[in-house]
Amino acid sequence: MLAIHVYLTAVLFLSLIGLYSMAFKRNMIRILLGLEIILNAANLSFIAFSARFTGQVDLLGQSIVVMSIVLGGCVVAIGLSMVLNAYKHYKTLDVRELRRLKW
Amino acid sequence: MSKYYTAMGAALTVFMIIIIAYTTALYGAIFPEPVMSEEQLVTTTGEGEIIHSMSGFLWDYRSLDLLMQPFVLFAAASGCAAMLRVIRRRS
Amino acid sequence: MSEFLPYPLISLLAGAMVVLFAGVLEERLGQGRTKEALSVIFIALALIGCLILYKDVTSQPLGVMVLSIGAEPPLGACFEIDLLSVFMTFSVVFLGLFAVVYSFRYMEHDTRLAEYYSLLLLMMAGMVGVALAGDFFTFFIFWELMCISSYVLVAFRRELWGPIEAGFKYLTMSALGGVLIFLGMSLLYGMAGNVNFAYMSVGIDWGTAGVWAYLAFILLFLGFGIKAAIVPMHTWLPDAHPEAPSPISAMLSGIVIETGLYGLVRILFVVFLPNAVLLPRGPETFKYVVAVFSVLTMTIGNIMALLQKDIKRLLAYSSIAQVGYMLVGVASGTTYGLLGCFLHVFNHSLMKGLAFLASGAMVYRIGTRNLDEMKGLGHYMPVTTMALAISLLGLGGVPSTNGFVSKFILFGSALAPGVNMWWLTLIGVLNSAFSMAYYLPIIIRLITKPAEKSSELKEAPILMLIPMCIMAILIIVFGIYPRPVLQLADSASKALIEGLQGYISKVIP
């Protein structure tokens, strides 16, 4: 178990990767994957804080992670069903084509 | 021209990563220590005992969240059904 | 008194299941309106449950009721219900009742109505749970329930491209807000060891936590700000509100973004502000950050609303501006400011809800949202136009509407002796006066003489008119006699600031 700031730096990098994927990628599915990456970064943060003291484990953090994985899965399910519908209308997965709503 | 911008962007990102890592190592080593109660902290035994204490903890202390999660799943399933169902109109 | 779950929540959750079941049965049979009737019955039961909840909470010794299943807080998941929670629950269920009655006629030609009513009830259950939660993770589960239901409801009319595009943008931004809240929650958990609100208020060592506390605050502010449509995180709102069906627009604009504001207020006033003196430059930081964002939100919301030609998009930008006004009350940090903020939450839900319902009735009749084509519509739809005019005057803050009362309290709170933010009041009053510049042309355009006579335009159906008329009458009545709601909001804001010791002592004896 390393010092806590190593894990926090890893959380920061994962979040930055996820944010980059949400902001700059054109494929709609990659945007949803970026969302999942940020969620995994937050889960990693919870686990790192729960396993902080050597030889002991904090059960609250881990139970929160177990339940948060389910919530992340639900959000992505809805997102993918929306991507399916968008493909039916726009015939492409490019999010830059979704700019008919102006202003 | 765009290669120049890509190279500048990559250099800026690497520079920022180095700065963040340095400041995190300098300042982030200090993180406040929480005071946890006895029921939370469990000594790791290693063989698989942790699973039983974990599920016991979940059902004793977090039962409200566990009871509300099926409703979230229900909302997600119902929402996917609403978005993906094929409606055939009987004329 | 329910031992495990509060009555409004039981009623709404059970209602969602029953309504879906009834709706699926009706779809097999091909016809039937039982699901609508059942949804109204369950919302009425939730309203009665809210009154019982109010009586229960006020009969408790400290004005706080803690409900949990199984183990005790602070480690166990719990509902911690004080009067602020009861106030938000009442706002949610009240607006939901009007929206559901309105959607009987509005949505009757749509498909998949069983899922519509069930998801609407689940969205309301999620908002009620967010208001009642005492634990940050319980809050997050109900937050995700509310968000997931609202994503599907915005993109409900999936045959058109507009709702799908708006729904996807709304989903990405709002889900990003949710995970940012989750990240902030993880930092607070690491500092405190527990995710209970009351425990986090007293159990964090703020001296060593300087930078990390500010980082957690920034993450939580960004997350709640995306949901509450604080500029610059507001860009999903002008797309999502016009494309959603009108009753859903009314719910979204009226109470869902205010739930984001409630989360921000709860986390700010329970965890951060009581301990702000222990942080380096603490109190001024929180106050001025919220004040700067309030100015930004008000100004940009009002300016962008002036340029719109689509009535529902104009009302969506106006919602952004109204959230800016509510942030003035939060920035002041006093009981009086929070009174104005929550009174404006309730009043805005009535006024903006009525505005969206009335404009939805007009869209239902003429099929377009463009303002230029609504010229002279008032001659054919007089009651709807009157209701829309009352709601727009209320939004602008004209005296004798309830919007005036709450705006008066909000802008007056920034002038209080301990809070020297006269510039905030000045900008707020100027913005409020400026907002009439885009409300009045709508009314004028509706009541001018129409160009040619059109015989097929009639008044809105009676089931859509009844909730609109009741809301319009309430706007005027609460403007002239605001005492009931004022007392409720006053007790709610007092419960948050002065009742904090009682709130904490219920969990940590």
A9 close to C (CB below 8 A): no
Query: Over the stretch C443-460, which tens digit does the pLDDT of each residue have?
Result: 999 888 777 777 778 888
Query: Over the stretch C50-81, which tens digit does the pLDDT of each residue have?
Result: 999 999 999 988 888 888 887 777 788 889 99
Chain C closest-CA separation from residue B78 CA (Å): 6
Range C143-172 average pLDDT: 94
Domains identified in chain A, total number:
1
Q: How far apart are CA C428 and CA C326, in angstroms?
A: 10
Token digits of residue A28: 């709609």
Residue B45 has pLDDT above 70, yes or no: no
DSSP summary character for residue B30: -
Closest CA to C390 of C468, C314, C458, C466: C468
Chain C closest-CA separation from residue B24 CA (Å): 11
Question: pLDDT class for C262, splitting at 50, 70, 90?
Answer: very high
A81-95, B66-80, C143-157, C269-283, range with the lowest pLDDT:
C269-283
Neighbours of chain C (3+ CB pairs under 8 A): A, B
Question: pLDDT class for C270, splitting at 50, 70, 90?
Answer: very high
A52 close to C (CB below 8 A): yes
Please report which helix (H) or strand (E) contains residue C472, including its range: helix C462-480
Range C353-369 average pLDDT: 92
Contact C161 A89 (CB under 8 A): yes
C178 close to A (CB below 8 A): yes
Residue A25: give its domain's CATH number: 1.10.287.3510
A51-65, C158-172, C354-368, range with the lowest pLDDT:
A51-65
Neighbours of chain B (3+ CB pairs under 8 A): A, C
Distances (CA, A) of B77 to C111, C137, C325, C482, C490: 17, 22, 37, 43, 40
Task: Report the percentage of chain C scoring pLDDT > 90.
Answer: 67
Structural domain of A39: 4-102
More confidently predicted of C44 and C29: C44
Q: How far apart are CA C336 and CA B76, in angstroms?
A: 40
Check residue C479 and give its pLDDT: 92
This model of the complex carries an ipTM of 0.96
Range C271-291 average pLDDT: 87
Distances (CA, A) of C383 to B68, C95, C235, C377: 42, 20, 33, 11
Query: Over the stretch C237-248, which tens digit does the pLDDT of each residue have?
Result: 999 999 999 999
Question: pLDDT class for B29, splitting at 50, 70, 90?
Answer: low
How many Å from the N-terminal Cα to the C-terminal Cα in chain C? 23
- Provide CB contacts within 8 A for A27, sequence distance 6+: A93, A94, A95
Residue B32 has pLDDT above 80, yes or no: no
Closest CA to C475 of C377, C383, C406: C406
Of B29, B36, B80, nearest to A3 by CB-CB distance is B29
Q: Domain locations in chain C?
A: 7-505
Residue C357 has pLDDT above 90, yes or no: yes
Residue in C182, C195, C313 to test binding to A, most A beta-carbons within 10 Å? C182
Chain C closest-CA separation from residue B51 CA (Å): 19
Range B61-89 average pLDDT: 91
What's the mean pLDDT when you consider all of chain A?
89
Question: pLDDT class for A103, splitting at 50, 70, 90?
Answer: low
Q: Which residues on chain C are in Cβ contact (under 8 Å) with A52?
A: 190
More confidently predicted of C357 and C77: C357
Contact indicator for A90, A97 with CB cutoff of 8 Å: yes
Range C385-410 average pLDDT: 93
Range B44-62 average pLDDT: 82
Question: pLDDT class for C171, splitting at 50, 70, 90?
Answer: very high
Residue C1 has pLDDT above 50, yes or no: no
Task: Report the percentage of chain C scoring pLDDT > 70.
Answer: 99
Residue B91 has pLDDT above 70, yes or no: no
Residue C101 has pLDDT above 60, yes or no: yes
Residue B28 has pLDDT above 60, yes or no: no
A51-60, C179-188, C284-293, C467-476, range with the lowest pLDDT:
A51-60
Position C168: which residue type?
F
From chain B, which residues contact C within 8 Å (Cβ)? 27, 30-37, 39-40, 59-65, 67-69, 71-72, 74-76, 78-79, 81-83, 85, 87, 90
Of C137, C168, C313, nearest to A64 by CB-CB distance is C137
Alpha-carbon torsion, ordered C446, C450, C456, C460, to 10 deg:
10
- Angle ∠(C469,C34,C108) on CA atoms, nearest 5: 55
Query: Over the stretch C372-384, which tens digit does the pLDDT of each residue have?
Result: 888 888 888 899 9
* Number of H-type helices and E-type strands within chain A: 3, 1
B81-90, C17-26, C39-48, C210-219, range with the lowest pLDDT:
B81-90
Residue A45 has pLDDT above 90, yes or no: yes
Check residue C390 and give its pLDDT: 94
